[in-house]
Amino acid sequence: MGCNILYAIFAITRFTLLEARRNRLVWLFLLLLAVAIALAVFMGSIAITESQAIRTSVLAAVLRIFAVFLLSLYVITSMVREINDKGMELTLSLPVSRTSYFFGKLSGYSMIAVLVSVSIGLTLVFYAPFFQVFLWTISLFFELLIITALCLLCVFTFTQITVAITAVTVFYVLSRTIDAIQLMSREPLIDPDSLPQVFITRSIDLLAYVLPDLYRFSPSEWLIYPNTMTGQILPIAVQTVIYLVLLVAAGLFDLYRKNL
């Protein structure tokens, strides 16, 4: 029984990777990589000082956004197509549980996240010390893992590309900026004790509770300044595990509720 589940997960993972290989995702990623490198080299060349630091931080920031953008678009469009083409129904008509299907898809897309992270890491090795790049790449992988699970959840919840992409974008932007939003809400310019202001501050604090602190993930300062990542990777790993379990549980909740 356990072997069958693992076999099903492995088979779905393999087909997910095969699909990625066949639809030219690799070429698109390589193209984006080249664009990011060109942009970073250009920015570094016009800097009067700290050109290496500018090059590295611009490259890391641009590649991180590219990775999140590319992976979320790919996961959402691929899953929606599979649902619309009845691929999911066909798979689930076989002796494959919904849990196996979900984990098969998640592990397939996670493998793509590994490949994307490693490629970005290998690019950055030319611009920053190896150990710093190594930790940064792990952190980027964790970030992509959360985004992948979120995309699956959004697809099972909304089953529409536009709504799912919008939801993922809003989630990502909020998770990356929630610390700044919290600080701004605590230091309002006018009347901090007014009822609407207190309500806004409390609502933002509440929102921060249910969002992962992505703003702590893979900052470019890790690549530029030594020792800035000390003690950072463990909390990031814990946050990833907790949030991944949450997203998986929510995704399975929605998948199991679907009446196929």
Partner 1 sequence: MHRYQERSVKALPVWIPILLTVAMTAQIIWHMHRPDPIAHFHRLTPPPVQSVLEMMSLGDPVAMSKILMLWLQAHDNQPGISVPFRQLDYSMLIHWLEAILKLDPRAHYPLLAASRVYGEVPDAEKQRQILAFVAREFQKDPDHRWPWMAHAVYIARHKLKDEQLALKYARLLADKARGENVPGWAKQMHIFLLEDMGEIESAKILLGALLESGQIEDPNEQAFLYQRLAELEGKRGQTGRQ
Question: Is the separation of the CB atoms in 81 and 166 below 8 Å?
Answer: no
Find the binder of partner 1 among 184, 192, 199, 226 (CB under 8 A): 184
Nearest to 225 by CA among 28, 6, 57, 16: 57
Q: How many residues bind partner 1 (CB under 8 A)?
A: 38
Cβ atoms of residues 131 and 148 within 8 Å = no
For partner 1, which residue of 3, 190, 210, 234 counts as binding (CB under 8 A)? 210
Q: Which of 22-30, 176-184, 191-199, 221-229 is the region at the interface with partner 1 (rule: CB under 8 A)? A: 176-184
Per-residue binding string, partner 1, 232-251, x by CB under 8 A, is ---x--xx--xx-xx-xxx-
Q: How far is CA 175 from CA 19, 59, 167, 178, in A?
A: 30, 21, 12, 5
We find the least distance from the C-beta atom of residue 214 to partner 1, in angstroms, to be: 13
Residue from 189, 190, 195, 234 in contact with partner 1 (CB under 8 A): 189
Q: Considering only 9-17, 120-128, 135-143, 202-210, which stretch makes contact with partner 1 by CB under 8 A?
A: 202-210
Cα dist from 241 to 144, 182, 215, 237, 256, whole Å: 13, 24, 16, 6, 22
- In degrees rounded to 5, what are phi and psi of residue 191? 40, 75
Least distance in angstroms from the C-beta of 29 to partner 1: 25
Q: Which is nearer to partner 1, 170 or 242 (CB)?
A: 242
- 246, with CB counted inside 10 A (0-12, 13-18, 19+), is middle
Is 173 near partner 1 (CB under 8 A)? no
Task: Rule CB under 8 A: choose which of 21, 81, 186, 202 binds partner 1.
Answer: 186
Regarding 19 and contact with partner 1 (CB under 8 A), the answer is: no
3-state secondary structure of 229: coil
> Nearest CA to 77 among 159, 140, 22?
159
Residues 6+ apart with CB under 8 A from 34: none
**How is 63-112 classified by DSSP, letter by letter?**
HHHHHHHHHHHHHHHHHHHHHHTTHHHHHHHSS--HHHHHHHHHHHHHHH
The correct pick among 107, 119, 160, 201 for binding partner 1 (CB under 8 A) is 160
Q: Where are the alpha helices (DSSP H) in 125-210?
A: 130-158, 161-186, 195-210
> Would you count residue 258 as binding partner 1 (CB under 8 A)?
yes
Binds partner 1 by CB under 8 A, chosen from 30, 180, 191, 228: 180
Contact between 126 and partner 1 (CB under 8 A)? Answer: no
Which positions from 47 through 106 interact with partner 1, judged by CB under 8 A? 83-84, 99
Contact positions toward partner 1, by CB under 8 A? 46, 83-84, 99, 159-160, 179-184, 186-187, 189, 208-210, 212-213, 215, 235, 238-239, 242-243, 245-246, 248-250, 252-253, 256-260
